[in-house]
Amino acid sequence: MTLGERLDPSAPLELDGAPLVPASSANTRGTAIDGVGEAEILVWHKPRGVTTTHADPYAAITLPQALTEELGAARAERMLSIGRLDRETEGLLLLTPERSLVSRLAHPRARLRRGYAVATRFSLGEPEFSRLRAGIRLTDGWARALESRAVQPADALPAEIRSGNDDPGQWSYIALGEGRHHEVRRLYGAVGHPVLRLVRLSFGPATLGELLPGALRPLTSDERSEFSRALNAPPQAPA
């Protein structure tokens, strides 16, 4: 083969005996353009007190520091959170080393619900739940719950919560379609019920289940398929 030589597009090409694949169809990082492919995505039960950044002079413990024991320092440093949970919020957080997936899965256009268990001093009633579902104007615009109600057995709260000293009536459930800054805390504050404890139970198809604080697990094949389906879904007009 010489410089400038033209080849039949259908002709197979090899380099040192290995077939060459066009860049458009190559899967160089293990991710698919229209889904999550084989990218590494982990479900982590974030403990309270962890700041989900890589560097913060005011953080008691950063994301890599919290992950080092489980993943090792080098691997922990590569992990990025898909969305964030504030320092005092605990529960499900998705992690990946694939930067291209972070914004795609966290963006509202992916239509991935975030489900939370919320502890307050007093129980919420239907008037408060209705206000949360109807929408409340916050400082950065309107926000509303996709679902807001009392907790149910199907919500699968972690065992530590179910067996704790908190009155079960003080726990409620809310689902949101986005992850704005302190959104749950601000919504509950707007209906007169400051949040005492906040636990994310789900993000899209991924659920916290009985994962202990600080523990990790990979996505299941079904969860992986559902995330890919969400990324492949055509955009919808705003409601």
Residue ranges and CATH numbers for the domains of the chain are 42-109+206-232 (3.30.70.580), 113-201 (3.30.70.1560)
How many Å apart are CA 143 and CA 184, to the nearest integer? 10
Interval 29-57: pLDDT, tens: 444 456 888 899 999 999 999 999 998 88
Query: What global pTM score does this model have?
Result: 0.82
86 is a catalytic site residue: yes
Placement of tokens 């299941």 in the chain? 220
Q: What angle do CA 161, 179, 135 make, to 5 degrees?
A: 90
Contacts with 24 (C-beta within 8 Å, 6 or more apart), sequence order: none
Q: Which residues pair with 147 in a beta bridge?
A: 175
Interval 156-205: pLDDT, tens: 788 877 776 665 568 999 999 998 999 999 999 999 999 999 999 999 99
CA separation, residue 168 to residues 138, 176, 203 (Å): 28, 22, 23
How many Å apart are CA 168 and CA 155, to the nearest integer? 13
Among 8, 34, 86, 166, the active-site one is 86
Contact 227, 35 (CB under 8 A): yes
